[in-house]
Chain A
């Protein structure tokens, strides 16, 4: 199975900050990568798919980049509702796998 590793595991930031989260795959996955946001007690919400495509309805302050093994999710200007846990997911190889999550906390 492809292993997905996110860094950092947690990050503290303030409203208005720019935040970048990285995800590394144990082998090349092209651009078959998605990012999800999950709030406590809720289902994950798709933000980005195919590494850089913004899901309909997701604010443009979210962006994704990368290909192969290294990917990033950037939030350009943090809003109060963005404090949550973020997961990456590869869909290049069976079975699909997720990163361990990055918890974004208020500083």
Chain B
């Protein structure tokens, strides 16, 4: 069955970078987009960006432009999200989520990873 499995929790110092992975199982990886959504403690879900897994094109929210890099490895059915210049406000759970639209950033999300807690603390 369809599953999306993320890498484990991370603790980082301010100014560092973090890279989260997201491995897909049970479907053709390149047929669906992958999105990244984060949730700070007690806050609403916040969309960060997406990757067209077929052609590798990416797009991110203006809020994260210049700090987020999204990539994929089709041979490993895995997507990656790297966030740089971390600050305490980036402490959150980061989710990857499969897009129902194959090639649109405007999409609903039908399968989600389990979440990766990233803690930014000195």
- A49 and B100 contacting across the interface, CB-CB below 8 Å: yes
- The answer, yes or no, to whether A7 is at the interface (CB within 8 Å) is no
User: Between A and B, how many residue pairs show CB distances below 8 Å?
Assistant: 57
Kindly state the interface size class of chain B when it binds its partner. Answer: 20 to 34
11 contacts between A and B (CB under 8 A): A34-B108, A42-B114, A43-B113, A44-B109, A45-B112, A46-B108, A49-B108, A91-B101, A95-B61, A97-B47, A98-B47
- A46 and B105 contacting across the interface, CB-CB below 8 Å: no
Pairs A-B, 5 closest by C-beta atoms: A43-B112, A34-B108, A98-B45, A49-B108, A91-B106
A7-47 contacts to B, CB under 8 A, are: 32, 34, 36, 42-46
Q: Which of A42, A43, A96 contacts B47 (CB 8 A)?
A: A96
> Which of B97, B105, B108, B113 has the most chain A CB atoms closer than 10 A to its own CB?
B108
User: Which B residues are CB-close (under 8 A) to A89?
Assistant: 45, 108-109
- A93 and B106 contacting across the interface, CB-CB below 8 Å: yes
Given contacts A44-B95, A44-B97, 5 further A-B contacts (CB under 8 A): A34-B108, A46-B110, A89-B45, A91-B101, A91-B108
Q: How far is the CA of A98 from the CA of B95 in the complex (A)?
A: 14
- B107 and A99 contacting across the interface, CB-CB below 8 Å: no
A interface, by DSSP: helix, strand, loop or mixed? Answer: loop
> Interface 1/0s, chain B 82-111, versus A by CB < 8 A?
000000000000010100110001111110
Contacts A46-B109, A46-B110, A49-B108; is A87 near B61 (CB within 8 Å)? no
